[in-house]
Amino acid sequence: MGGMDKPVIRPRRLRRTPALRRLVNETTLRPSQLVLPVFVREGLTEPRPISSMPGVVQHTRESLKRSAAEAAELGLGGIMLFGVPEVRDERGSGAVDPEGILNVGIADVVAEVGDALPVMTDLCLDEFTSHGHCGLLAADGSVDNDATLEVYADMAVAQAAAGAAVVGPSGMMDGQVAVVREALDRAGHHDVVILAYSAKYASAFYGPFREAVDSALLGDRRTYQQDPGNALVGVREVLLDIEEGADLVMVKPALAYLDVIRRVRDVVDVPVAAYNISGEYAMVEAAAANGWLDREPAILETLTSIRRAGADVILTYWAAEAAHLLD
């Protein structure tokens, strides 16, 4: 037997046909793994296009319900609501008002889809404050962590009372998950899930989102969002949030932080989400509009890369379209 030639190794054998490629595919991408972020704006009578995010709009309450119904029909994993109020103040009062645009939007969507689609909510003050920061400001202009936590607790209860199945504390305040969990439990909302924005980085790719919510941001958020150069602190923040009661954890943005997604996935035993953010969406859309790449394959490749890095759930503005492409 010693004289036999070594077998020829041909990895391409497994790539020869679509059926063979499907057989050995390592990374799946399904509609149920995708969450659609949506914006609902107070006072609109028609959906308003967002110029830097082609195909994305600020919804009216009625168009929001239609979008949610479509998401449910497509079998998406969820819908994440962001509210855009007409009036803002220093304390972001609209965030806790039961009649505020986000809370009535939650109730509208829950009435429309029931339990067919998890209704998720952004739990942060930046859309509601006149200064655009994610928390209340101290006299010196810095964000007051502990005062902000008190408002987050009230926001969580208001969103849960409106019908949210999942709340997403996203302000990167220290202790936010523990405070939100305690407030929800104290109010009897024991079954409301916390999706913690645990590793949220100070990114250049948020620009289009700020148009989407008409952000009034003064300065930047580098004192509370994470430094783009640091991966270890991202893992540390995730572990802290899990200790405080997070049911899912999130890395945001996704594409520039695929390594962080992988590090997190390797060390935690809860589902990991990643947010394919506005700037990442806009880059592909702009390149496709200029004929520089093939749009639909680029969408699926982008989302597959996030899944391959370890994300169990992807928030993406392409969620509904990707579901059609995967059909």
Residue positions annotated with a catalytic role: 200, 252
CA proximity to 73, closest of 31, 101, 109: 31
Verify cis geometry, omega within 30 degrees of 0, for the bond prior to 253.
yes
**How many C-alpha atoms does 175 have within 13 Å on its Cβ side?**
12
Token pair of 24, please? 């050995």
The runs of H, that is alpha helices, within the chain are: 18-23, 61-74, 101-113, 145-162, 176-186, 207-212, 232-244, 258-267, 278-289, 295-309, 319-326
For residues 88 and 128, is the Cβ–Cβ distance under 8 A?
yes
**How many C-alpha atoms does 138 have within 13 Å on its Cβ side?**
7
